[in-house]
Amino acid sequence: MDFEKRKAAALASIRSSVTDKSPKGYLDEPIVPLLETINHHPSYFTTSSCSGRISILSQPKPKLNDSTKKKARGGSWLYITHDPADSDLVISLLFPSKSTGVDLIDQPSELVFRFEPLIIAVECKDLGSAQFLVAIAISAGFRESGITSCGDGKRVIIAIRCSIRMEVPLGDTEKLMVSPEYVKFLVDIANEKMDANRKRTDGFSLALTSNGFKNPDANDVDEDDNYENLAGKNLDSSINNGDLHSG
């Protein structure tokens, strides 16, 4: 499948009512205009994205007698938001009142508090297009951006990302190693990072428009931009984004 058909299939999927693989099942609202700006350019289309999130990840504890090599243990979100976090809500989840008597997780699990900034995977038409978009992203503060896939016969994929993340172990479901006051401290830091992430994202949007990208009007329909028809009914619209997290 060539670039134009892959783009058509991907954008048709985005515009459909089918849920995606992210925890929410749909695009993060704060970055929809940004994604539309990228996708409106003929040389690019987004394949996965997350606007930034604050979460508490619950991971099953490894078995003591497990001699196999370390591998991903999976897990689930005890808490997740793509907006500033509510410290009172987070504290109530981690330190429920005794009167409720509710156990949030059945099996012993490790708990990790995390903030993850914006990340967008973009397929590019060619290497030159990839280098151009990476340069714009880096200039806007997304200094960890780079090409993740290229070469003979390979799709050209870039990741737009930065390093303002945090990951703090909280303990486990049997015993938390932190106090409510410390959890509030973590939430405050994460919210500051979320604010910085939003400002950096806005700066990236401005950098795109300053470099020839157009912000399509919702009512502006391009007659040649008929992605649903170009995609066809039998094309495989699945996109493999490697290890990039989805929103």
Q: What is the pLDDT of residue 237?
A: 34
Residue 233, pLDDT above cutoff 60: no
Residue range 73-114, pLDDT digits in tens: 567 899 999 999 999 999 999 999 765 444 555 678 999 999
The answer to the question of residue 65 being in a domain is no
3-class SS of residue 142: coil
The answer to the question of residue 228 being in a domain is no
C-beta separation of 85 from 53 below 8 A: no
Print the domain residue range for 177: 3-60+76-95+106-215
Token pair 């993850």 is at which residue? 116
Determine how many CB atoms are found less than 10 A away from the CB of residue 96. Answer: 13
Determine how many CB atoms are found less than 10 A away from the CB of residue 207. Answer: 18
Residue range 152-205, pLDDT digits in tens: 889 999 999 999 999 999 999 889 999 999 999 999 999 999 999 999 999 999
Cα angle: 133, vertex 137, 141; to 5 degrees: 170
Q: How far apart are CA 166 and CA 173, in angstroms?
A: 21
Q: How many domains does the chain have?
A: 1
Q: What is the pLDDT of residue 13?
A: 87
The answer to the question of residue 38 being in a domain is yes
The answer to the question of residue 230 being in a domain is no
Mean pLDDT of the chain: 83
The answer to the question of residue 223 being in a domain is no
In the chain, how many H helices and how many E strands? 6, 8
The answer to the question of residue 238 being in a domain is no
Q: Where residue 112 sits, what CATH number does that domain have? A: 3.30.1960.10
Q: How far apart are CA 165 and CA 155, in angstroms?
A: 28
The answer to the question of residue 68 being in a domain is no
